Structure 1
Amino acid sequence: MSEAIRITGKGAAIRFGNLDTDQIIPKQFLRGIDKAGLDKGILYDHRFDATGALRPDFVLNRPEYAGTSILVGGANFGCGSSREHAVWGLQQFGIRAVIAPSFGEIFYSNAMNNRLLLVMLPRDVIEQLMNDVDADSNNVIGIDVETMRVRTPAGDHPFDLSARHRHMFLEGLDMIGLSLQQRGEIEQFVRQYWAEFPWAKDVARRTRDRLGAT
């Protein structure tokens, strides 16, 4: 099955409710002019102490959780500011999906538009998943977007996605790609609009030309 349809990987429990985007990627890692190196800041204050040394007890620093690609988080995951860097950094860190009871609204939109899959499951199911991945670091989680089910050795759980987001994942699209599927309708609208309002077309350029502006 296509990787756009099914995500399978090792899970790790992040047992914090209200994990905000400043915790996911602190502000000092947002100074660059591109997306490069954002993985270095992911969950920095949880992964490192005040001296910059690794916290060996934090789950993502433990050798047995190397290669984790699915996070199981607490309620309101990704609340706080709207920084899209939180999504980009998680993806650079190797995270392909997050399962939680609920998500911050803006983080949810940013994640799904960048193809970081977010799955909502009931709190009791999340707690069981956390216990499972804590007990066995080799516990593989499978997320099937086509059938909308999360599968683990301990159970099989349905989840919901909007028709738009499900279509995007099944077709391998981001928001730009989704919009471009309507290219024909967009071009038809533009032609009709300029036919109806021709005086408004290229008005800035024509004004500059008339005034001799450079």
Structure 2
Amino acid sequence: MSEPALRTGTAVPLRRDDVDTDQLAPARFVPYYRPEGFTNILLADWRSDPGFVLNQPQYQGASVLVAGREFGTGSSRESAVWALQSAGFQVVVAARFGDIFRGNATTRGLWTAEVDHEVIERLWEQVEADPWSAVTVDLTTRTLVCGPVESPFRIDEPLRRRLLEPGDRIGETLAHLPEIEAYESRHPAR
């Protein structure tokens, strides 16, 4: 394993369910997207509210986002992942992720940790009570810890492996070249 298997940081309690990719990175920004410089578009339509959690000083510099159910659903939008990363997030913890978002996140190195909603509720309470509580996510053991909250999390094994052993999909395929060549040799060209 070449990448560190732990990520630790403070968290933002995003007490919302059904946060889709258009909310994460509004469509009006999509024609201009690129992998960097997206901090200002993350949840842009909600950030005009001074009381919105991302505007609160105690959550500045957080690297873990704790959201509710159905996070990252909607259209395939890499800019949603880029916006999260540009804002400093390295891990998103949620009760469920959209499949395409989870794949895009993994490709870009953003960790997704899926836990039961009861765990989300406990994390929100802990982080709101103590915004400086560290959240540690361990890919090796598939566990997360934040103060008294400890929980296993779900992540598909192929995605977990891709995060632990980064590379591109072409490299992953080439790692199986002997098997591919053996298969091809048994199936002559038509």
Aligned to 2:189: 197
Q: Normalized against structure 2, the TM-score is what? A: 0.88
Contact conserved, 1:4 with 1:172, CA < 8 A, in 2? no
8 A contact 1:102–1:120 mirrored in 2? yes
Q: What corresponds to 2:147 in structure 1? A: 153
Task: Give % identity.
Answer: 37
For residues 125 and 113 of structure 2, the distance between their equivalents in structure 1, rounded to whole angstroms, comes to: 18
How far apart are residue 33 of structure 1 and its match?
A: 6.1
Note if 1:24 corresponds to 2:24.
yes
Superposition map of 1:12-161 within 5 A: 12-32=12-32, 34-48=34-48, 55-161=49-155
Q: In 2, distance between residues paired with 1:116 and 1:144?
A: 14
Q: Offset of 1:177 from its aligned partner?
A: 4.1
Shift of 1:28: 1.4
AA paired with 1:64? Q
Letter in 2 for 1:197: A
Which consecutive residues of structure 2, in runs of 5 or more, have no partner in the other structure? none
RMSD of Structure 2 on Structure 1 (CA): 2.4
Work out the number of aligned pairs and report it. Answer: 190
1:42 is displaced (CA, Å) by 0.6
For 1:157, what is the secondary structure of its paired residue?
A: strand
Query: Is residue 78–residue 104 contact of structure 1 (8 Å, CA) maintained in 2?
Result: yes
Alpha carbons 1:4, 1:171 under 8 Å: kept = no
Query: Given residue 161 of structure 1, which amino acid in structure 2 is its aligned partner?
Result: I
CA distance in 2, matches of 1:65, 1:28: 27
Relative contact order (C-alpha < 8 Å, sep 6+): which is higher?
2
**Residues 87 and 176 from structure 1, CA distance in 2 versus in 1: closer, same or farther, beyond 3 angstroms?**
farther
Q: Is the 8 Å Cα contact of residues 168 and 178 (structure 1) preserved in structure 2?
A: no
CA-to-aligned-CA distance 1:49-78 (integer Å, 9 cap, x gap): xxxxxx332111112211111111010011
For residues 51 and 33 of structure 2, what CA distance do their matches in structure 1 show?
Answer: 33
**Aligned CA distance change for structure 1 residues 174 and 143 (closer, same or farther; 3 Å):** farther
Paired with 2:168 and 2:155, the residues of 1 have a C-alpha distance of 15
Unmatched tracts of structure 1, length 5 or more: 49-54, 199-214
